[in-house]
Structure 1
Amino acid sequence: MHAVLLADEDDFEGWRDSARGLAIAGVPPRDVTWQVGQGGGELFGDEAPPPAADGPAFAVPRAFLTLAQTVICHSDPERFALLYTLLCRIRSNSKAMEDGADAIVQRLERMAKEVRRDMHKMHAFLRFREVAEEGAERFVAWFEPDHHIVRATAGFFVRRFAGMRWSILTPELSIHWDGERLTEGPGAARADAPSGDPVEETWKTYYSSIFNPARLKVGAMLKEMPKKYWKNMPETALVAPLIAGAQGREAAMVEASKRKLSEAEVQGLATADKAERRLQPGSNALAAWEAILADAKACTHCHLYKHATQTVFGEGPLDARIMFVGEQPGDQEDLAGRPFVGPAGQLFDRALGEAGVDRTQTYVTNAVKHFKFERRGKRRIHQKPEAPEIEACRWWIEQERTLIRPPVTVALGATAARSLFGRVMTISRVRGEPLELPDGGEAWVTVHPSFLLRLPDPDKKRDEYARFVEDLARIGQRAKALG
């Protein structure tokens, strides 16, 4: 028997190196035991350590390594042995992973799916709360994952909250980010995490305003957001009354139909929630938007805030049928604090007018909220945002779209498309056709108006401008068709 002692529950590198040496030495899976911790005591006293991997190297499919990295994070103690068994099969049959009927392949794929789902829940249901700490702000969150995913998800939170000082506490281990370095600490208890902070009332106002009873499916909601996570999230205190209110409105509509009210009265009940969302003083929607704006003005999620004049947030009616997303504010936008007011914005306004789209009835924003530039003397020259900066600002776009719920969202340029879809997209391949966003909404992609300004050839500029106007006209007609 060969005993393998791994450093941690998610020690992929340790498993990989040991498994490679065992496979090269031809050790069958039944002769290997896998253990995690500081030592196995007398249980492993007479067992041999794994042999060194000094034999001929062998290749495995990239898909297997990806699967193994994910499955290692699972809580099933048999995962190491199952992965080693599959590795041995792959060494003798490179297509072993393609056998979808194989019980081990099915079990490992199921484990990987459960790990990915747990990671998704950590991304979605973890809530930071501010704690008092001398010298600087600090935020602390508590989470209880089902699997060993904390290290695997750390990068997500570092990218998303790069400018914050935060800690995530879990029963197994804790991770801490000081703005520059990520460190680990021992596990914690729920009592070690704060129970609330002043920001939560603002968050509850926002959540109430975006709650959509027309899409309410209680069973599906509980499946996606089990009650286990409710105690971590301030907005869940509102779920029961919001559900009750939605059910009350539904009952009113049913009663209205029984009493054979006029079509106008029934329609009035059906559109009550939409009316409440309009940008009016005192409305929930306006309060929520103002709360998001206040947070965005203090955003330090990436380094761009250090040099820009101010955050440039979106503007427009909250019941807009079209939401335009550009790249980032330019020099004039940075100074004015409003999107699309510089040369590209003026060209954009002219094109919208020719396309028959009223800009005042659209919501206009940018994928990145701070101006990125290179200073040359007194001039500030625009620089294209990079992936971490786009990712850091995606949260703001998601909140704007969630609040406004536009029937049509338009990406102006490649940066905006990457922000909306979460991946690099080629404009020429997707331009001019409706696309489905990850959340189910409809999006269109076209060029950014600054692209037209940069074209040196007059004829080319004229043709591309005409095509841009045509895109905007089709988008306007589509928004009308969606009602």
Structure 2
Amino acid sequence: MMAPCLTSLVIDPQAPEDSGFDLWRNLAREQLACATPPDAVEFQDARSALSCSLHLSHNRAPASGTSSSTTPPHVPRSFLDDAAVAAHHRSPHRWNLLYRVLWRLQSDKNLLHISIDPDVAQLRSIVHQVRHDLHKMHAFVRFRRIEDQQGEHFIAWHKPAHRILALAAPFFIERFSVMRWSILTPDNSVSWDPASRTASFGPGADRSQAPAEDELEAFWRTYYSNIFNPARLNPSAMRSHMPVKYWSTLPEVNVLPGLINRAENRVGSMMASQKATPSAQPFIPEIPTLPVLHQALPACQGCDLFRHATQVVCGRGPSSATLMLVGEQPGDKEDQLGAPFVGPAGELLRQAFHEVGIVGEELYMTNAVKHFKFVQRGKLRIHKNPAQSEVNACRPWLEAEIHAIKPQVILCMGATAAKTLLGGTFALMRDHGRFVPTRYADQTIATIHPSAILRTADKAKAKDLYQLMKEDLAMAWSRSRCPPPPPVNPVYPTTA
């Protein structure tokens, strides 16, 4: 019996950003319609030297003895998603693997759920490798600044394990949308123009085509030194997460030996300071910008609350916010999701936002205490007010956030936040709705916390408290939308 004739199909993407997935999908659809089994067709990668002399055919006739099928193929969405990622892998065998899995799915619709199947396991493996490489690219790309004819231009060079630049580009476009930048890799390159808001792909480049060290790398080393946590030092884990092959483009590598050598002494001084008076101050970065604070917060052990909470809850909102809301502490839902005001109290607060015309996305919302304090009762975690020592311990984080944002108006939600910023003699029901100048903001005001309204059993009283909160919110929002008054120039008496 003669062996079947093997049909060779070449995947030859023409555009630099094209992984070849769409081309493979069209060819695979044709072969599936012709009932071509996997062992009778071979997909080859045009980037491979073995396939450079072959040509691509889009209109191949059905093989002898077969007929085109009119039954729509079974193609799960999850398979297409994985295949689109696998297309960026460097393995020249990925196309044949994808077609083999696709072919088998027509007779076994549950194939993808069989994790021990060799083909499924191999597909999962290459998808994982591409996603892992993508994560590394997001973490280890470092831009360097140059000046060209168009002005400021940031350029980075990176050597990924797979052809993932098209997958990675949306991340950098979203994060650096106002910058003009380019990322060069050996396979291809991408440039972003913020004026036209377009990304253009081009040919690859080698390391020599990227700029050398620039003046911004000194700032980056300072940033890295500030967020470096000596208490969590694990050199073997650092080498695992920061492989040697990336070191040539990472400016922070130069400061790591010194940080590691000083880690033990820094931990000792942090522990001694904490034992004397519980405080988050030793964990506050020297340069307290908002991104740096959010990076450093998860490492805080300024009081014992970190031992029981699921996670730290950072503030949320733009650094340009003119109105800052300060609550007491995260609740159960906030502790689970890692964001402030997302539980029942947050829902009531956002309802009030809607009713008084507040744009929630323009506020910065945070809490005086960053970890959830609770009492466990069966499966429930019941909120417990933080002790004054815990509020004091966490105060440096709140002050650093205020310093980073410099809001025109601060609105304290509830008694704990009010006493933290307005002093221990402040009485919420007596003094709410009154603007007070403080060292934190020229206009500081307090109102009812929405959780107090939810806890009020008397519906009429709860309605009155809700109306009171809305009025205070409206005043704070209105003040924050007005430009700050100009400074008053002193008038000096003239002398004869």
Whole-angstrom distance in 1 between the partners of 2:191 and 2:383: 44
Q: Structure 1 residues 116 and 51 mapped into 2: Cα distance closer, same or farther (>3 Å)?
A: farther
Deviations 1:334-372 (A, max 9, x none): 3xxxx42xxxx4xx5xx649x9xxxxxxxx9999xxxxx
Moved more, 319-328 or 165-174: 319-328
Secondary structure at the aligned position of 2:223 is classed as helix
Aligned to 1:109: 124
1:243 maps to: 260
User: The residue matched to 1:289 in structure 2 has which SS?
Assistant: coil
- Aligned partner of 1:268 in structure 2 is 272
Letter in 1 for 2:272: G
> Could you tell me which residue of structure 2 aligns to residue 147 of structure 1?
162
Question: C-alpha displacement at 1:32, in angstroms?
Answer: 1.6
Residue 191 of structure 1 corresponds to 208
Matched, 1:19 2:24: no
Q: Distance in 1 between matches of 2:89 and 2:228?
A: 34
Whether the 8 Å CA contact 1:4–1:50 is kept in 2: the answer is no
| Structure 1 Cα separation of the partners of residues 219 and 270 of structure 2 | 33
Offset of residue 24 of structure 1: 1.5
Compared CA separation, residues 327 and 76, structure 1 to 2 (3 A): same
Q: Who is 1:93 aligned against? A: 108
- The offset of 1:59, in angstroms, is 2.6
* 2:41 corresponds to: 32
**1:432-447 matched pairs, under 5 angstroms:** none
Aligned counterpart, 1:7: 12
Task: Calculate the aligned-residue CA RMSD, in Å.
Answer: 4.9
Instruction: Please report how far the alpha carbon of residue 155 of structure 1 lies from its aligned counterpart in structure 2 after TM superposition.
Output: 1.0
Q: 1:209 to 1:165 in 2, by over 3 A?
A: same
Q: Is the 8 A contact 2:270 2:282 kept in 1?
A: no
Query: What displacement does 1:80 show?
Result: 0.5
* 8 Å contact from structure 2 (residues 45, 51) kept in 1: no
Shift of the 74–266 alpha-carbon distance from structure 1 to 2, 3 Å rule, reads closer
Query: Cα offset for 1:115?
Result: 0.7
Query: Residues 174 and 188 of structure 1 are in contact (CA less than 8 Å); yes or no, is this contact kept in structure 2?
Result: yes
Matched with 1:226 is 243
Q: Give SS of 1:92's match.
A: coil
Aligned length: 346
CA contact (8 A) 1:21 1:54 kept: no
- Checking the alignment, whether the CA contact within 8 Å between 1:142 and 1:168 is kept in structure 2 is yes
SS in 2 for 1:132: strand
TM-score, length-scaled by structure 2: 0.58
Quick one: distance in 2 between partners of 1:203 and 1:271?
32
Aligned-pair CA distance for 1:285: 2.5
User: Is the counterpart of residue 325 in structure 1 residue 315 in structure 2?
Assistant: yes
Tell me how far apart the structure 1 counterparts of residues 163 and 105 of structure 2 sit (CA, whole Å): 26
Please give the residue correspondences for 1:399-410 in structure 2 after superposition, counting only pairs within 5 Å: 408=371
Q: Cα–Cα, structure 1 residues 465 and 18, in superposed 2: closer, same or farther, change >3 Å?
A: farther
The 1:64/1:47 distance shift into structure 2, 3 A limit, reads closer
Q: Which moves more between the two structures, 175-184 or 8-17? A: 8-17
Structure 1 counterpart SS, 2:71? coil
Deviation, 1:270, is 8.8
Q: 1:451 to 1:65 in 2, by over 3 A?
A: farther
After superposition, the Cα gap between the structure-2 partners of 1:223 and 1:365, relative to the gap in structure 1 and judged at 3 Å, is same
**Identity of matched residues, %:** 29
1:289 is matched by which residue type in structure 2?
A: P
> Counterparts of 1:20-169 in structure 2 under 5 Å?
20-37=29-46, 44=54, 50-51=60-61, 55-169=70-184
Q: Name the CA shift for 1:464/1:95 in 2 (closer, same or farther; >3 Å).
A: farther
| Contact 1:325-1:366 within 8 A present in 2 as well | no
**Closer/same/farther in 2, CA of residues 407 and 29 from structure 1, 3 Å limit:** same
Measure, in 2, the Cα distance between the counterparts of 1:75 and 1:96.
24
1:285 maps to a residue whose letter is: P
Residues 55, 18 of structure 1: alpha-carbon distance in 2 compared, 3 angstrom cutoff = farther
Q: Following the alignment from structure 1 to structure 2, what is the Cα–Cα distance between the partners of residues 41 and 223? A: 36
Paired residues of 1:23 and 1:88 also in contact (CA < 8 A):
yes
Unaligned runs of 5+ in 2: 1-5, 63-67, 295-299, 304-311, 332-338, 343-355, 374-379, 385-412, 415-446, 454-458, 470-496
Paired with 2:73 and 2:383, the residues of 1 have a C-alpha distance of 46
Write the letter of the residue equivalent to 2:245: K
The Cα of 1:90 is off from its aligned counterpart by: 0.2
CA contact (8 A) 2:156 2:183 kept: yes
Structure with larger Rg:
2
CA shift, 1:137, in A, is 1.9
Q: CA deviation at 1:458?
A: 6.3
Larger mean CA deviation between 175-184 and 235-244 belongs to 235-244
CA offset at residue 99 of structure 1?
Answer: 1.6
Is the 8 Å Cα contact of residues 10 and 44 (structure 2) preserved in structure 1?
yes
Deviation track 1:280-332 (CA, whole Å, cap 9, x = no partner) reads xxxx922x225969xx9xxxxxxxxxxxxxxxxxxxxx9977765244589xx
Does residue 216 (structure 1) correspond to residue 233 (structure 2)? The answer is yes
Q: Is the 8 A contact 2:280 2:302 kept in 1?
A: no
TM-score of the aligned structures, taking structure 1 as reference length: 0.59
Q: 1:382 to 1:176 in 2, by over 3 A?
A: farther
Amino acid in structure 2 at the alignment position of 1:325: G
Name the structure 2 match of 1:312: none
